[in-house]
Amino acid sequence: MSWLTNFVRPKIRALVRKTEVPDNLWDTCPACSKMIFHRDLEAAQRVCPHCGHHMRLPAKRRLETLFDEGVYARIELPKVVADPLKFRDQKKYVDRLKAARDKTGEQDAILVAHGRIGGMSAVVAAFDFEFQGGSMGIAVGEGLVAAAKLAVLQQATLIVVPASGGARMQEGILSLMQMPRSVIAAEEVKEAGLPYIVLLTDPTTGGVSASFAMLGDIAIAEPGATIGFAGARVIEETIREKLPAGFQKAEYLLEHGMVDMVVHRHELRATLIRLIGLLTEPKPRAEIVAMPMPQLEIPDAKA
């Protein structure tokens, strides 16, 4: 009986037991609702292979896709007061910060890194939407200032990749003060004669779009990204009119001159390399070969 219980029964159960399939092997495209194998989606940089919808890309993954061979060095950002206003709604702000830090493994909603893009020096400040919707508080403002200073120090291109719902309400006026600070930081890069490029991703709204995000020398947007200040519903309720189709989408802004180009995620790195090269090396990158001029025969006027 012991032999049957300890040996035969487990073998039989192992044969008939259903194989457990992890729940996270498949993702659903929010645009076309088709299932995508998680490895295929990651290989496609989270762009739906069926409809081309650009899903949100984590900040670390964004840095990997932009820098040469995915190699970059992050900088430590200045420490700030965690809860300057002792804010509390349904939860304490400090508890919300702790939950966001545990979820993302980051101290706040911005990552600043430097390295090379196409062999040229670049500093990238990327927003992490998973951290409280990428909202801009004191820490984000300090991160943007640090990124600008590093770009000037290294004589490098500054690339900012916002993905944010706007200013962080739990920090009140202190979060709104980051708007002029970020504008000044961007101007310092421009005054140093360095390129300032903004890559607008979904979403770029609120105080972020009303400050540094729309001041780039070149404004690039990903397809389908929502870019604007107030939400479409709020605008419709305010003006009491129906907004046009595709309002606040990247393609709509391109048609109306608010962004310079809409670039597919798979082409972003090549586009940035070309733009950085044009902005930092205006001279030809190769030797100019003089072409011999053909000899023209001038007919005799007396003939």
Residue range 34-80, pLDDT digits in tens: 999 999 999 999 999 999 999 999 999 999 999 999 999 999 999 99
The predicted structure's pLDDT at residue 229: 94
On the question of pLDDT at 164 being above 70, the answer is yes
The predicted structure's pLDDT at residue 303: 56
Q: What is the pLDDT of residues 100-110, one digit of tens each?
A: 999 999 999 99
Which residues, 6+ apart, have CB-to-CB distance to 287 below 8 Å? none
For tokens 């595709």, the residue is: 246
For tokens 């801009």, the residue is: 136
On the question of pLDDT at 142 being above 80, the answer is yes
DSSP 3-state percent helix, strand, coil across the chain (nearest 5): 40, 15, 40
Give the pair of three-digit tokens for residue 42: 């990651």
Using 50, 70 and 90 to split pLDDT, how confident is the model at 289?
confident
